[in-house]
Amino acid sequence: DAGVIQSPRHEVTEMGQEVTLRCKPISGHNSLFWYRQTMMRGLELLIYFNNNVPIDDSGMPEDRFSAKMPNASFSTLKIQPSEPRDSAVYFCASSLGELEQYFGPGTRLTVT
Amino acid sequence: GENVEQHPSTLSVQEGDSAVIKCTYSDSASNYFPWYKQELGKRPQLIIDIRSNVGEKKDQRIAVTLNKTAKHFSLHITETQPEDSAVYFCAAIPGGSYIPTFGRGTSLIVHP
């Protein structure tokens, strides 16, 4: 298996633009997580899907952030409009139930 | 909700020394405790985990201990090597939740 796949790996955009991050979980995994990592706040859970259904989105910062999982093999995290404070590394991770989470390589987002 | 405290935030050791990182958790329902290693610019990767029905687990030079009564668990690395230099994260997951709460991370520096 290729592991968790994320795209793009790097994204540089201007404030106010829409940003879409993509994730393909490991085949057969039924849980998917989106995290944001910054030096100031560490690793934060944004949203958790189980069997394609959002279970906990309490970590989503505000209405500018939205996430979808239309099927078991694809998820998106969208920021609209983006702001400089959204600059961070965004990780997607998948797992089978409560077992080990496998992280993707991350997307480094820079908003200028 | 769960709260995980991790100490120290930075740990500097000489090659060959032992390193110990400690975490405390608040939710007595937590029963799964993974440890992740994140090298600079890379993704977090699981290095060892422990469940609440076990007090200690070892894997070569790394070990994890768990004290359920005191609600704390620790990572022990013996005979440290420069390649052990990384940020280490602990996490706690309540039974049936699948949602981890991560500690803030410990930056381990091993000097040759």
Give mean pLDDT, residues A58-72: 93
pLDDT, tens digit, for every residue of B23-65? 999 999 999 999 999 999 999 999 999 998 889 999 999 999 9
What average pLDDT does range B85-109 have in this prediction?
92
Q: Average of pLDDT values for A66-71?
A: 97
The count of CB pairs under 8 A between chains A and B is 40
Q: Give chain B positions within 8 Å (CB) of A90.
A: none
According to the model, what pLDDT value does residue A1 have?
Answer: 64
pLDDT for A91: 98
Can you read off the two tokens belonging to residue A61?
Answer: 């910062």
Alpha helix segments (H runs only) across B2-106: none
Are B44 and A56 an interchain contact pair (Cβ–Cβ within 8 Å)?
no
Torsion-angle region of A28 (φ positive above 0: left; ψ -120 to 50: alpha; else: beta): left
Q: Is the pLDDT of residue A99 over 80?
A: no
Q: Over the range A53-74, which residues count as b (16 or more CB within 10 Å of their CB) and which as e?
A: eeebeebbeeeebebebeebee
Give the Å distances, CA to CA, from A94 to A5, B6, B82.
10, 24, 30
Q: Do B49 and A100 touch (CB under 8 A)?
A: yes
B34–A100 C-beta distance less than 8 A? yes
Residue A97: per-residue pLDDT: 78
CA distance A23 to A48: 13
Q: Tell whether the model's pLDDT for residue A41 goes beyond 90.
A: no
